[in-house]
Structure 1
């Protein structure tokens, strides 16, 4: 099978010539500030040499069809959103990629891991999966330990290779699936191979773990112009810039900017009368959510009156979880459903 040249040409040049003379040693310590993910510990003796964590991001994993047979891509990459942890480990010298991969696999299976797709041979698509990983894209934003990958073979002891995303298709194996822990389901991708090439005598493992988590809301304020347009065209507009603590009706101070824009929109149309409608997700009883949504709507009315809007132009209504915008099955959907709407009377 023909494999296209990697875009990181330094890898190819390094394989042929290496980096002559002095080079740093293999990293002895983890990246400062990094740590194993709580659900998966490292292979014994490994060093965590690459690390990144985003509070909320999107990653692409293969589905059950894996890598395409005629192209270096995943057949149907699935977008997964949530808290993302990316880890890159170097195993101790002399440990084979198979030993490292199998230990991770057995530990995950014992914990109840459900496999979406896996490959262990070229025929199963592992080489194509390596290229589909797109090492440059996955390495973005990662912090790296000091060091490199020196050659250990007699003919390569004066050569070294870059540490960053030093995976290869040599002895590559991939495992993709999900693991349920503590009432949540984590999506995981693991790829183990020879670290850059067989001359380093080491195995490298790249892991991505995506934890379900709603994107932080309330970070965008709808301005007065957009409020007016939304009311004119739809008769209603959802406002996520109004923030409350869980189970509370008091408006948080971060809501000030959104309240100011609501006041500007209402003052621009003095004849306008509106409903302030509170919505919740489906967590808790209907009775509790009715009271919570009504209390929040009343708090918004009170804040607008305090800012100079006549009370007769405003009515507060709480409708609990009777009018969802999305499924309440996931945290992202529940976050969309927790909102206050401005509705024309």
Structure 2
């Protein structure tokens, strides 16, 4: 039986339930970062903080609010935008005594000094920060994160000996959110930052959650087109794009990981043995036309040579490079450029 996904409010109640379950257990606060975790290169931590939650994925998609921020009548983002790329998620605990406002202002000023462009921000409940807290959905954002050892002990006399769970211990108390873009290395990174009291006022701590998305194309070459699909594609369309033929940037030498795709191409060319094809190299629009013509031609010739080495007669093959003259997608995005960098088999 498939269960329905819990609502943001239900998830928050579940998190509170877990926290209450741990309320009577004495535990020490974290004393060190998550092993193997590190600050993102574009943004260093608030001084003295510990990086207690960490996750990084080479390619994933996340949802950020746009300029409308949180919806006025619901605990969600008014118009969420989907961003794809390399995702880094970081969860920090500031030193005891540091307020959410102090932490937030320091991050805000550092980002602005680096050229950060704000898409949306909030600092009060009237501006939508409480709704943004629920829209942030800690239940989902915490998936796959690694956590430091420790909990959030109570620090006041009344709650000495009590503690609360560390994991995703954000709250809507003194919550503030900042969302926008930051240029780095010629790319525009998407960044979301949320600071608040860590779970409740009894912990005396400030929690900061940061999510940074580096737009990039999904890693390609991880799926090989088999001989049957190759044959069907050639018969139906007269051509087929092969992303399992891999090259280093700006190079014409086939990488070893290309062998599986080459073997499937050979299987197609052996049945029937009279089949003739063009091997056509394509590039994105980065660089000059002349350089890309040479690069695409060199890659096509490298594939032809590899097929000949595997026993296919050279008379059945022709190599052509056409640079960026036949794109499959817009070159305005990294994802589009990734689709355009390819080698195709084309029926003669």
Normalising by structure 2, report the TM-score: 0.93
Residue of structure 2 equivalent to 1:120: 123
Instruction: Quote the Cα distance in structure 2 between the aligned partners of 1:5 and 1:333.
Output: 38
Q: Are 1:30 and 2:33 matched, yes or no?
A: yes
Residues 49, 88 of structure 1: 8 Å contact kept: yes
2:300 counterpart of 1:294: no
- SS of the equivalent of 2:11 reads coil
Partner of 2:23 in structure 1?
19
Distance 1:38 1:252 in 2: 30
Deviation at 1:158, TM superposition (A): 2.7
Does the 8 Å CA contact 1:29/1:48 hold for their aligned counterparts? Answer: yes
Contact preservation (8 Å) 1:227, 1:262: yes
Q: Deviations over 1:172-191 (max 9, x none)?
A: 11000001123221110000
Q: Deviations over 1:73-94 (max 9, x none)?
A: 1122111112211110111112
CA displacement at 1:8 relative to structure 2 = 5.0
CA contact under 8 A between 1:18 and 1:156: conserved in structure 2? no
Name which of 249, 253, 266 aligns with 2:252: 249
Pick from 202, 212, 215: which aligns with 2:215?
212
Residue 224 of structure 2 corresponds to which residue in structure 1? 221
In 1, distance between residues paired with 2:77 and 2:278? Answer: 49
Q: Measure how far apart 1:62 and its partner are.
A: 0.9
Q: Which residue of 2 aligns with 1:231?
A: 234
Query: Does 2:105 align with 1:102?
Result: yes
Does residue 335 of the first structure (1) align with residue 338 of the second (2)? Answer: yes
Tell me, in whole angstroms, the C-alpha distance in 2 between the residues paired with 1:329 and 1:17: 51
Residue 7 (structure 1) aligned with residue 33 (structure 2): no
Deviation at 1:5, TM superposition (A): 4.3
- Residue 323 of structure 1 aligns with which residue? 326
1:237: Cα distance to partner? 0.7
In 2, Cα distance between the equivalents of 1:209 and 1:11?
A: 24
Q: Is 2:9–2:134's contact at 8 Å kept on the other side of the alignment?
A: no
Per-residue Cα deviation, 1:61-119 (whole angstroms, up to 9, x for no partner): 11111111111111221111122111101111121111111111111111111000111
Instruction: Decide whether the 8 Å contact of 1:48 with 1:90 is kept in 2.
Output: yes
1:65 aligns with one of 64, 68, 74 = 68
2:320 matches 1:344: no
Contact kept in structure 2, 1:195 and 1:201, CA below 8 Å: yes
Asked if residue 270 in structure 1 is aligned to residue 260 in structure 2, the reply is no
Q: Would you say the 8 A contact 1:53–1:83 is kept in 2?
A: yes
- 1:145 aligned residue (127, 132, 148): 148
Deviation track 1:119-154 (CA, whole Å, cap 9, x = no partner) reads 111111111111111112111111111110111233
Give ranges in structure 2 of 5+ residues lacking alignment.
1-6
User: Secondary structure of the residue that 1:268 maps to in structure 2?
Assistant: coil
The 8 Å contact of residues 61 and 79 in structure 1, kept in 2 or not, is answered as yes
For the residue of structure 2 that corresponds to 1:205, the secondary structure is: strand
Give the structure 1 partner of residue 4 of structure 2: none
Number of residues of Structure 1 aligned to a counterpart in Structure 2: 342
Q: What is the match of residue 81 of structure 1?
A: 84
Unaligned segments of structure 1, at least 5 residues: none
Distance 1:208 1:65, change over 3 A: same
Deviation at 1:320, TM superposition (A): 0.8
CA–CA separation in structure 2 for the residues paired with 1:144 and 1:4: 22
Residues 1:261 and 2:267 aligned together: no
**Partner of residue 48 from structure 2, selected from 41, 45, 48:** 45
Report whether the alignment pairs 1:191 with 2:194.
yes
SS in 1 for 2:270: helix
- Which of 166, 169, 181 is the matching residue for 2:169? 166
Q: Deviations over 1:162-209 (max 9, x none)?
A: 000000111111000001123221110000011011221111000001
State the distance in 1 between where 2:233 and 2:200 align: 58
